[in-house]
């Protein structure tokens, strides 16, 4: 049951360039989408979120875009920095749930110097 | 910045034994969660807890699992009789519950069942 899909297991980007991480979902009942970043041996760290009623949310170098008709969201990191190298998880909240999150499999982002 | 803390970082146990994983959520948070990630697989929701009771649980959270908030600071996950397939990273999380507030996760406990 893959309600949230991150189809790229890994992504390599040059430092200073834009990193674009993609996420697709199948369930129209998700009301909130979140991006988490995870370093080895640490728990997921919240990055940015977007409500299903919006199409864009920006926070510093991070911007999340939501295309509801395509059931697609993306995370843009500009400019990419070496410290951004991590695994990025897309997660979706089930409508009216108490943060019951459905997670994607993650994309490992590698920033090359 | 306040953080969620989990102990131990690694727990090894024999099949059939009981384990208790411990968490100290952020102090002013009201909603608590356990998630797990089996090696190589996705993060999965186990249970949410609010006002001293379970508010939601997944099908993974069967009768072998229980949660408790024994005092004002700790939040525990107990597995009564561990199975090999319970081996995973277990993450505790908490949130204030205010609109737009995300989940904050601990660094996890790696449970190894032998």
Nearest to A98 among B41, B55, B104 (CB): B55
Residue (of A65, A57, A62) closest to A23 by Cα position: A65
Model confidence at A1: pLDDT above 70: no
Per-block average pLDDT, block size 10, for chain B (114 residues)?
91 97 94 94 94 93 95 93 97 88 94 98
Percent of chain B having pLDDT more than 90?
85
Determine the pLDDT at residue B3: 92
Supply angle C-alpha A112, A72, A55, rounded to 5: 100
Residues of B in contact with A42 (CB under 8 A): 107-108
Contact yes or no for A35/A64 (Cβ under 8 A): yes
Q: Distance from B60 to chain A by nearest Cα, in Å?
A: 13
Model confidence at A110: pLDDT above 80: yes
Determine the pLDDT at residue A8: 95
Determine the pLDDT at residue B33: 96
Q: What is the mean pLDDT of chain A?
A: 94
Contact B42 A103 (CB under 8 A): yes
Which residue in B43, B48, B90, B99 has the most chain A C-beta atoms within 10 A of its own C-beta, making it the best mutation to test that interface? B43
Residue (of A78, A82, A80, A100) closest to A91 by Cα position: A100
Contact yes or no for B95/B82 (Cβ under 8 A): no
Tens digit of pLDDT for each residue in A72-90? Answer: 999 999 999 999 999 999 9
Tens digit of pLDDT for each residue in A40-57? Answer: 889 999 999 999 999 999
Task: Enumerate the β-bridge partners of residue B73.
Answer: none
**B100 contacts chain A (CB < 8 A):** yes
């Amino acid at each position: 049951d893959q309600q949230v899909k991150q189809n790229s297991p890994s992504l390599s980007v040059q430092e200073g360039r834009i990193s674009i991480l993609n996420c697709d979902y199948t369930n129209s009942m998700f009301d909130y989408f979140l991006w988490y970043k995870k370093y080895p041996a640490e728990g997921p760290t919240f990055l940015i979120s977007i409500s299903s009623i919006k199409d864009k949310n920006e926070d510093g170098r991070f911007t999340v875009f939501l295309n509801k008709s395509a059931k697609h969201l993306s995370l843009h990191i500009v400019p990419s920095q070496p410290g951004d190298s991590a695994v990025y998880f897309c997660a979706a909240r089930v409508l009216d749930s108490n943060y019951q999150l459905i997670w994607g499999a993650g994309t490992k982002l590698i920033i090359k110097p | 910045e306040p953080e969620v803390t989990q102990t131990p970082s690694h727990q090894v146990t024999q099949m059939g034994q009981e384990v208790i994983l411990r968490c100290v959520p952020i102090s002013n948070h009201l909603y608590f969660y356990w998630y797990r990630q089996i090696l190589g697989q996705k993060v999965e929701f186990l249970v949410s807890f609010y006002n001293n009771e379970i508010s939601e649980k997944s099908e993974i959270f069967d009768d072998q699992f229980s949660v408790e908030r024994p005092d004002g600071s700790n939040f525990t996950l107990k597995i009564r009789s561990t199975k090999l397939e319970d081996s995973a990273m277990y993450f505790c999380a908490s949130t204030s519950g205010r609109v737009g507030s995300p989940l904050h996760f601990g660094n996890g406990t790696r449970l190894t069942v032998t």
